[in-house]
Amino acid sequence: MPKTEVILTHNIVGLGGESDQVKVAAGYARNYLIPQGFAIPVTGTNKRRLEALKQRRAAREADELNHMNDLARSMAKLTAVIGVKTGEDGKMFGSVTSGAIADQLKTQFDVSLDKRKIHLENPIRTLGEHEVELRLHHDVVTKLKVRVESITPLPEPVMAPVGDRRDDRTEKRGRRPDREAAPEKAEPAKAAKPEKKSRKGE
């Protein structure tokens, strides 16, 4: 496939930044980069535009660096909370990946961050607090606190002791009628006393 040289007028991820002179497929340059205004052909006139493109690139990169420095200071103060399902033994089902952290940052703090900037040596597989490295820029690296919490409800058997105490109260209430029945047994003895007096009268 024939190649051609062009001068980029915009930052193209994976290709280069404005003012870079790069070789690309002739069809890619002719059908996409040049018509979209992302590149210009390499000519004597266009080469004179390089200085202006370089200045614009320097301004853009300085602005990105300032933005990432501000973001790094903000992220260092945050704690992203991620809820996960766990088994009865407290172990997590699955793991927390950089993609999950990026999604949580968007949901919790409205921060859009490319998951490739979130560096995890291994996915997180345990509950608790973890420190994650954020590589926001080649000159800006910071840390983010991530707290992984279980969202699995506690098992129901915890309520069993409460039910036992209620049963004890029911049993105690059931014994009270026995105590009240005691005076009823004494009534025949009281009734027998007048009969003895009547015998003495005879």
Q: What is the bridge-based pairing of β-strands 140-150 and 79-84? A: parallel
Q: Is the pTM of this model over 0.95?
A: no
Q: What is the pLDDT of residue 198?
A: 46
Which residues touch 108 (CB under 8 Å, ≥6 apart)? 80, 81
Domain housing 46: 3-70
The CATH number assigned to the domain holding 15 equals 3.40.5.10
Res. 200: pLDDT tops 50: no
Same domain, 33 and 92: no
Model confidence at 153, in pLDDT bands (50, 70, 90)? confident
The CATH number assigned to the domain holding 99 equals 3.10.430.100
Cβ atoms of 126 and 147 within 8 Å: the answer is no
Name residue 7's beta-bridge partners.
Answer: 21, 40
Q: Which among 8, 2, 4, 3 has a CA at the least distance from the CA of 40?
A: 8
Give the integer Cα–Cα distance in Å for 112 and 108.
11
Classify residue 156: in a domain, yes or no.
no
Same domain, 123 and 141: yes
Classify residue 168: in a domain, yes or no.
no
Model confidence at 173, in pLDDT bands (50, 70, 90)? low
Q: Report the first-to-last Cα separation within the chain, whole angstroms.
A: 145
Model confidence at 181, in pLDDT bands (50, 70, 90)? very low
Classify residue 158: in a domain, yes or no.
no
Res. 26: pLDDT tops 80: yes
